Homo-oligomer: A and B are copies of this chain.
Amino acid sequence: MTGSPDKKSEVRPATGKLGILTPGLGAVATTFMAGVESVRRGLSKPIGSLTQMATIRLGKRTENRSPLIKDFVPLADLQDIVFGAWDPIPDDAYTAAKKAGVLEDRDLEPIKDFLSAIKPMPAAFENHFVTRIHGTNVKKGKNKRDIAEQIRADIRRFKEENGLDRVVIVWCASTEIYIKPGPQHATIEAFEKAMEANDDQIAPSMLYAYAAIMENVPFCNGAPNLSVDIPALVQCAIDRGVPISGKDFKTGQTWMKTVIAPGLKARMLGLEGWYSTNILGNRDGEVLDDPASFKTKEESKLSVLHTILQPDKYPDLYDGFSHVVRINYYPPRGDNKEGWDNIDIVGWMGYPMQIKVNFLCRDSILAAPIVLDLALFSDFAHRAGMKGIQEWLSFYYKSPMTAPGLQPEHDLFIQQTKLKNTLRHLMGEEQITHLGLEYYAS
């Protein structure tokens, strides 16, 4: 499959301003906003962001063509971004960032003016879905549909007041309790009725997703909540030509899993067990201390290994391995998240070996550039005429959404290949296969 040169011209240019709205103005969102502003002021580099720093190889190795992605693909410029947010806690972004404790004063003080000006709109929020947070900056309405309409009005007002050309929404708020897809989520009609009936299977995150799609705004889901991952909203996004993607930013331990597990499988090493424990001390940790929220997260974390390792295809290697994932609220860690993984592998003649990985990571530092990339790529996809689920953005997610009937791809390296070959394809460049036999012509 080769690239199609005509495609390139079909992408609408990134003219005018782009609004990025985040449900949630906590550690992740404020770190994201502070970082973009620091980069704009020349105080910092956008480390961790593919849209800003990565190159993409084009053509043959010997051509030496490797432009920056942002020079290859028409993305919105950082200077053109305007930020907004919703949060049940009324703190402005500066106050929220101070409380989050991710960034140090030397990074926050120089942009205090900028952050202080970002004040959250009242949030769609219910304690039933996130029990450990108690907010006062909350929307009231006669029913859930009414709340959704208020969100739509927020989006329109934000766009108008800031003279924006386009808007993208990226969910940066907490994990909600576990919900199973049901008949309420099957069709848009059922969904709208359920909102009107205040059905308790309609979570606040779904209201944001609905509002986004109805306003033609791409929606990216950074938490494991079902949110936009229900048939009603997927179909609606296709019908209205809106890109959507999710679920759950792939940051620390799971990211590492999707690096190491493909390595084990590449070498056909067996797996007897994988034990993962996490300690974290931020609001996220507190929320996940609630078993109902943890269940949502656990589902998201457990599926990764099976999908990568395919025990059905490799029963001798991967059938019946133990996979235990634990998350513990441990206040001394603050926003720093620490993972310890013990991996029991099996080699030649059944001999056991062990890999232990201790990852001293920073949750919001890893998540912030994902927010940026998803916003810019989703906006680009919108302009390129893509719609519905954006599987090529699987790279950024713990539980990638896919077309019905397809397995989500968890292997970070296949995800990366998919992302880059999609960009090549959309810009009319040849696919890279790494065959390269031409250098050894017989």
Chain A residues at the B interface, C-beta cutoff of 8 Å: 1, 31, 34-35, 38, 44-50, 53-55, 61-62, 66, 103, 107, 255-256, 259-260, 262-263, 266-270, 272-273, 275, 277, 279, 313-314, 316-317, 321-322, 324, 326, 328, 330-333, 338, 340, 342, 344, 346-351, 353-362, 365-366, 368-369, 385-389, 391-392, 395, 402-403, 405-407, 409, 412-414, 416-418, 421-422, 425, 431-437, 439-440, 442
24 contacts between A and B (CB under 8 A): A34-B349, A44-B350, A47-B316, A48-B269, A103-B351, A255-B263, A273-B333, A277-B326, A277-B340, A321-B332, A340-B340, A347-B366, A347-B369, A349-B368, A353-B360, A353-B361, A353-B362, A355-B360, A355-B361, A357-B358, A391-B436, A417-B434, A418-B436, A422-B437
Task: Let me know if A326 and B326 touch, CB within 8 A.
Answer: yes
Task: Let me know if A1 and B356 touch, CB within 8 A.
Answer: no
Complex Cα distance, B365 from A351, in Å, reads: 7
Complex Cα distance, B68 from A314, in Å, reads: 10
**A422 touching B435 in the complex, CB below 8 Å, given contacts A47-B268, A256-B263, A328-B326:** yes
Task: Let me know if B421 and A317 touch, CB within 8 A.
Answer: no
Q: Which of A48, A107, A255 has the most CB of B within 10 A?
A: A48
Identify A359's interface contact among B45, B270, B355, CB under 8 A: B355
Identify A357's interface contact among B357, B406, B422, CB under 8 A: B357
Secondary structure call for the A interface: mixed
Complex Cα distance, B61 from A407, in Å, reads: 9
Task: Let me know if A47 and B356 touch, CB within 8 A.
Answer: no
Task: Let me know if A331 and B342 touch, CB within 8 A.
Answer: no
Copies in the complex: 4
Identify A317's interface contact among B47, B313, B326, B362, CB under 8 A: B47
**Least Cβ distance of A219 to chain B in Å?**
16
**A322 touching B331 in the complex, CB below 8 Å, given contacts A357-B357, A386-B442, A406-B439:** yes
Q: Which of A269, A347, A358 has the most CB of B within 10 A?
A: A347
Identify A330's interface contact among B322, B347, B362, CB under 8 A: B322
Q: A35-B348, A50-B268, A353-B361 are in contact. List 16 more A-B contacts (CB 8 A).
A: A31-B349, A47-B269, A54-B268, A263-B413, A266-B395, A321-B332, A324-B330, A340-B340, A353-B362, A354-B360, A355-B360, A356-B360, A386-B440, A388-B440, A403-B439, A403-B440
Identify A389's interface contact among B360, B389, B440, CB under 8 A: B440
Chain B residues with CB below 8 A from A388, complex form? 440
Task: Let me know if A434 and B418 touch, CB within 8 A.
Answer: yes
Task: Let me know if A268 and B330 touch, CB within 8 A.
Answer: no
Task: Let me know if B442 and A272 touch, CB within 8 A.
Answer: no
In the complex, residue of chain B having the shortest beta-carbon distance to the beta carbon of A364: B348
Chain B residues with CB below 8 A from A405, complex form? 62
**Least Cβ distance of A403 to chain B in Å?**
4
Chain B residues with CB below 8 A from A50, complex form? 267-268
Task: Let me know if B357 and A355 touch, CB within 8 A.
Answer: yes
Task: Let me know if A357 and B360 touch, CB within 8 A.
Answer: no
Chain B residues with CB below 8 A from A46, complex form? 348
Task: Let me know if A259 and B268 touch, CB within 8 A.
Answer: no
